[in-house]
Amino acid sequence: MLRRRIIPCLDVAGDIVVKGTRFQDLQVMGDPAELAARYEEQGADEVVLLDITASAEGRAPRPEVVERVARRLGIPLTVGGGLGSLAVIGQVLGAGADKVSLNTPALQQPELITAAAQRFGSQAVVVAVDVRRVDDDWAVFARGGSEPTAWRLAPWLKKVESLGAGEILLTSIDRDGTGGGYDLEALRSAAATVGLPITASGGGAFAEQIAAALAVPGVTGALIAGILHSGRTTVADLKCELHAMGVSVRAAG
């Protein structure tokens, strides 16, 4: 049985980890390298590092931050934010990232997905999709959830799969930071649309909510952030709870 991944997410503004609600009201959480190392020790399967101000500021993630985090990790590291060219993607991978996460750049220039997949392999290309519920569908947003696009969830997922993406990171803006659980309907819709592995993001606060997301066929991982940063729980404790619920997860560290 495929073991599900528990993936701490480090949203960084420059070189400091922050956390907000619905992408707003950011609070400082700590140093990304220190937090990444702590979560690996607790049993994290991967770490995602998202520079949430890079696109708005017209820059790439700071390579020195990526290098500092990568040096502390023995598990895969995914980096996103402001990756607007093949050269920048190469720099981030060269700084120690195992995968890149493309969001706004993919929406602005979808051909970048194909170019990155051909150069670095589909396994290194994650497309991050931020959505809000609009009537009976989900609208895709760019620039950290602040800019609506003409895309809806299913057509955009089909597009990125056809362009060579290797994985989807699906975030519900409505649920982000609320602790109300993942958008299971959006996850089911995504999983029914594409055959790519999907990581659930936005709203996970309790083991029961994580288990519900991981029970959706096609969802192979769950992103968590605030519940770890706040010290409310640990990766190891979550994995113990999930294992007791019958969820197949790797043993905690």
Active-site residue list: 11, 130
Torsion of CA 177, 230, 102, 86, to 10 degrees: 160
3-state secondary structure labels for all residues of 222-239: EEECHHHHCCCCCHHHHH
CA angle 237–242–246, rounded 5-degree value = 145
**C-alpha angle with apex 74: 73 to 75, nearest 5 degrees?**
95
Angle at 50 between CA 41 and CA 119, to 5 degrees: 100
**H helices of 111-223, where?**
111-120, 153-163, 184-193, 207-214
Q: What is the DSSP letter of 122?
A: G
| The token pair that represents 252 in the structure block | 């905690």
